[in-house]
Amino acid sequence: MPAPSKTSSGVPPWGQFPAAAPSLLRDLPILIGGLAIFYGLLVFARYGVGPVNTQAEIQLYPGALPKYAFFSVTRIAIAYFLSLGFTLIYGYVAAYNARAERLMIPLLDILQSIPVLSFLPPVMIAMIGLFPHSQLGAELGCIVLILTGQVWNMTFSFYSSLKSIPREMHEAAEVYRLSWWQRLWQMELPFSAIGLIWNSIMSVAGAWFFLMACEMFTLGNRDLRLPGLGSYLQTAANQGDTRAIAWGLAVMVAIIVLIDQVVWRPIIAWAEKFKFEQVESAEPAHSPILDLLRRSKLLPLAARLTLRPASEALNLYFSRAAASRIGQSEERTVTRWTWRVLMALGLVATCYAVFRMARMLAAVSSAEAWGIVRGAGATFLRVEATLALAGLWTIPVGVYVGLRPKLSALIQPLAEIAASVPATALFPVILLVLVRAGGGMGVGSILLLLLGTQWYILFNIIAGATALPTDLKEVCGVFRMGKVERWRKLFLPGIFPYLITGFITASGGAWNASIVAEYFRFQGKTLSTVGLGAVISQATDAGNFPMLLAATIGMAAMVVTFNRLVWRRLYGLASTKFKLES
């Protein structure tokens, strides 16, 4: 009988297997998860290129929920990555190009104030027109609508972080002659990581909030429905099926908790290394998933084979490009003329759009115009009351949670669930309680606005408190500062840039949420109150595009005016007086 073969070290081959087994077992969940995501994308792509079906029958039995939940999560994920790309490009250009900033920031104010339903007609008509023979057009339209509900607060956060980078960090980048690509990856993204992550959490929660309006809506005489969790909940609410609403909300909560544990908690724990401090935190955030990824043998290998060569090639390319541009005035001249041509084309397109809008607005009667003015005043008062109520509890709670990582790990998923649950799914219960208590749609609309917008402020304040340097907190302890003095000298100045970002995005979100807070359908009945959101919802249902355009312009004008008079000045204060620099 032949002797068993041995390795060069004298150990049989099977003797080495137990040492390798733990590594294989650690990488097995990563492999399974990656394959599952790849397979899911293939399934969604096959559905997207299928025949057009914009009036799918929404089935309310629980067995249909896994498929609907998968479609909704895929749409939200695609919209988020598109939003992230828009955020990085738009925020970077607005922060570092003074000429562009004067146009881009007011434009961002306008865009965040336009409700999802106002984007709905042009987006859906354009996308279905581009892909008339496949489901891809309707799906792209839904994804773009979700994007319009989640991108603006991320962009404001990134822009605010770039404007708040300490002066000495910019000076260090100049000394080391970093290219713009190196500054982005080694200074700007790390500095803005914490605020961007928490606003990403809020953006995904906002996408869940508006999912019902994005997956099922009425456009004139057309009833458009896409299979998903939002359309499931909207159908259940329309039919008054509380059992189906409970099933839909339970699945939504389960998905939110799963995403929190698998995605957001690892990212938050990983971002701890980007805190602007010189002393390590005593209670760093922790995530078992992050520990699993760090122990993996497969991910470092994949990074060495793909990401590292690509990163080195990009760094080398942009460094050479930056060096070659030194002293080349001709290239700067060409770039300047290119911008002038683009600006001229943009001006021509703007003039044409203004001309077409003016013709459409001419069809609005004086009675309809007065209704818009009256509704704008009512919605403005509701929005400001909502912001005041939200600030009363989010500032102390957000700071308290942000200073305690262990508590943050517990509170964050609960807050994310509360922020993600579509308030329209809860509105029947809220309205029933208010009617019995003697209230009505007036009070109910404020509560619905509060449910949809207070989380923008809370998540930004938690991000600001989390980013407070540990050494500054220890200094407060050394000098034995009292609670009032700590709030006055550390907490409020430290979170001030995040607080302003939260209020700006919450203000835009409140105006946006008015379309579902002031106009609501339940069991075949339509309940509404005086407000600009109700005007926009009614115009969308009726297909009254002149009225829809006039109301949207009125809402954008209100938001931009208030932002320029109040929030923009506070933004300037946050980027000068309250920067963390020596």
Q: Are 114 and 148 in contact (CB under 8 A)?
A: yes
pLDDT score, position 13: 45
Q: How confident is the model at residue 560 (pLDDT cuts 50, 70, 90)?
A: confident
Strand bridging mode 519-522 / 525-528: antiparallel
Q: List the single range of 109-113, 167-171, 320-324, 441-445 with lowest mean pLDDT.
A: 320-324
Residue 279 pLDDT exceeds 60: no
What SS3 state is found at 276? coil
Task: Specify the higher pLDDT residue, 386 or 272.
Answer: 386
Residue 437 pLDDT exceeds 70: no
d(CA 8, CA 4) in angstroms, rounded, equals 13
Rounded average pLDDT over 428-445 = 67
Q: How confident is the model at residue 8 (pLDDT cuts 50, 70, 90)?
A: very low
Q: How confident is the model at residue 79 (pLDDT cuts 50, 70, 90)?
A: very high
Q: Hey, which CATH number is domain 27-283+360-576, 1.10.443.10, 3.50.50.60, 1.10.1060.10, 1.10.3720.10? A: 1.10.3720.10
Question: Which residues lie across from 521 on neighbouring strands?
Answer: 526
In sequence order, what are the residues at sequence separation of 6 or more whose Cβ sits closer than 8 angstroms to the Cβ of residue 454? Answer: 386, 389, 390, 393, 394, 506
Q: How large is the angle between the packed helices 65-96 and 136-148, nearest 10 degrees?
A: 60
In sequence order, what are the residues at sequence separation of 6 or more whose Cβ sits closer than 8 angstroms to the Cβ of residue 235? Answer: 58, 60, 216, 225, 244
Rounded average pLDDT over 436-456 = 76
Q: How confident is the model at residue 89 (pLDDT cuts 50, 70, 90)?
A: very high
What is each CA distance from 354 to 69, 363, 535, 546, 552, in whole angstroms? 41, 15, 22, 13, 14
pLDDT score, position 396: 92
Choose from 56-65, 141-150, 206-215, 392-401 the range with maximum mean pLDDT. Answer: 392-401
pLDDT in tens, 474-513: 888 888 888 888 888 888 888 888 888 888 888 877 887 7
Question: Which residues lie across from 520 on neighbouring strands?
Answer: 527
Q: How confident is the model at residue 533 (pLDDT cuts 50, 70, 90)?
A: confident
d(CA 57, CA 514) in angstroms, rounded, equals 28
d(CA 195, CA 499) in angstroms, rounded, equals 11
pLDDT score, position 575: 72
| Average pLDDT, rounded, for the chain | 78
- Nearest one of 14, 11, 26 to 297, comparing CA atoms: 26
* The residue to which tokens 């309680």 are assigned: 433
Give DSSP secondary structure letters for 150-169. Answer: THHHHHHHHHHHHHTS-HHH
Q: List the single range of 8-12, 137-141, 551-555 with lowest mean pLDDT.
A: 8-12
pLDDT in tens, 313-338: 777 776 666 656 554 544 455 566 77
Q: Are 199 and 101 in contact (CB under 8 A)?
A: no
Rounded CA Rg of the chain? 26
d(CA 99, CA 107) in angstroms, rounded, equals 13
What SS3 state is found at 72? helix
Residue 84 pLDDT exceeds 90: yes
- Nearest one of 432, 474, 34 to 242, comparing CA atoms: 432
d(CA 265, CA 412) in angstroms, rounded, equals 9
Count CB-CB contacts under 10 A for residue 427.
24
Residue 16 pLDDT exceeds 50: no
Rounded average pLDDT over 307-316 = 74
Count CB-CB contacts under 10 A for residue 134.
16
Q: Where are the domains of the chain?
A: 27-283+360-576
Rounded average pLDDT over 529-536 = 84
Residue 7 pLDDT exceeds 50: no
Residue 345 pLDDT exceeds 90: no
Task: Specify the higher pLDDT residue, 106 or 422.
Answer: 106
Rounded average pLDDT over 557-561 = 82
pLDDT score, position 325: 56
Q: Are 83 and 154 in contact (CB under 8 A)?
A: yes
pTM of the model: 0.74
Task: Specify the higher pLDDT residue, 382 or 103.
Answer: 382
Residue 433 pLDDT exceeds 90: no
Residue 235 pLDDT exceeds 60: yes
Residue 51 pLDDT exceeds 50: yes
Rounded average pLDDT over 164-168 = 83
pLDDT score, position 1: 42
Q: How confident is the model at residue 5 (pLDDT cuts 50, 70, 90)?
A: very low
Q: What is the helix (H) or strand (E) element at residue 525, kind and residue range?
A: strand 525-528
Rounded average pLDDT over 105-127 = 75
Q: How confident is the model at residue 87 (pLDDT cuts 50, 70, 90)?
A: very high
